[in-house]
Structure 1
């Protein structure tokens, strides 16, 4: 993605998802065994995920290039010596971080970047050998909607394609699975057929009533498809 769209990102999806505490905790719980040492979160928005990551990181660096989102992130961690906020992208700062990071996290960010292969190469560059990239993205191209376009998504992924892309860069896949099976039908109905937008009201309902049940279900059975993909890859 060029710098201009990033600078103009208004975070409407982040604002709606701000209250999705169960959803965020579920994602981080999946990532938790691989969060260690010097951790970087890219596209941190206002810091909802960053706040959860802080508990497990020895040191946390959070990147947010958007001009309107960064001040929220900066104020959130202004007096936190454990967290460093950077008003830029990882790609721009990567030469200062070569082989410096233990863990890099992208939650609902990679789909915003036009050249995702190049971005993965930059992640590989900044990770220490043995370090992990923890990636969470929207899945299933048939779910791509006007809402995806409005918030700046270039794509929705298939698991096999995302794995192949990471292997092409030189990563070793550690874990890859579809996530949020129950979200497929609601997303298709609301956003593909009815062309609605994400609101705090429907997020709150889904987070409060559906996510807890879905989380139990997916702990027992790994779904064959899902609304999202969770990928954990390691630098060889």
Structure 2
């Protein structure tokens, strides 16, 4: 995903807490001067190096659920964003689907639109949009969490789901589902 964005941004800054993954990312990325990968944990609150970048967009995908104090990270995002900058969040949704896989990968929570709005209300980031996505995936995850009590994803289910994604994603662009496996949120830093 990071490599795909390089042609569309002036500068891309990636943050990764695992030093091994930092090295792998650096090896995988094309040789370019418009990106840097930082070995850092956003939840540590060390923002000195990050403030100099004056971010106009922060893309945070499947990270907040791994951090116990998610509000502190949202406040860090607010601190390092330029005025008018946006934060785009993708998080797992629907606490009812929390199960063994979530526990195995270190999730503290799954979100609802209400809990995300509550977390954002503790910052000065203004909500622009929030919606659920992946309606079908929610039902598979719920089945695996509550009926099968699976600790890992099922390859057959993943292949079936992947074959349906093109159709479902077009449908979800027209009609946002009332629930979903993921929640997408966009918030802006105002003056």
Distance across 2 between alignment mates of 1:206 and 1:163: 29
Query: Is residue 158 of structure 2 the alignment partner of residue 206 of structure 1?
Result: no
Aligned length: 187
User: 1:217 is matched with which residue?
Assistant: 171
Equivalent pair of 1:77/1:85 in contact (CA under 8 Å): no
User: 1:94 is matched with which residue?
Assistant: 47
SS in structure 2 of the partner of residue 55 of structure 1: helix
Equivalent pair of 2:56/2:82 in contact (CA under 8 Å): yes
Distance across 2 between alignment mates of 1:148 and 1:130: 34
Gaps of 5+ in 1: 1-48
Query: Is residue 155 of structure 2 the alignment partner of residue 231 of structure 1?
Result: no
Residues 201 and 93 of structure 1, relative CA distance in 2, 3 Å threshold: farther
Distance across 1 between alignment mates of 2:155 and 2:16: 22
Gaps of 5+ in 2: none
Give the deviation of 1:191 after TM superposition: 3.1
The worse-fitting range, judged by mean Cα deviation, of 166-175 and 198-207 is 198-207
The TM-score with structure 2 as length reference comes to 0.90
The TM-score with structure 1 as length reference comes to 0.74
Rg: which structure is higher? 2
Give the deviation of 1:82 after TM superposition: 1.4
Matches within 5 A, 1:3-42: none
Distance across 2 between alignment mates of 1:94 and 1:78: 27
Equivalent pair of 2:3/2:30 in contact (CA under 8 Å): no
Distance across 1 between alignment mates of 2:46 and 2:8: 23
Distance across 2 between alignment mates of 1:204 and 1:55: 30
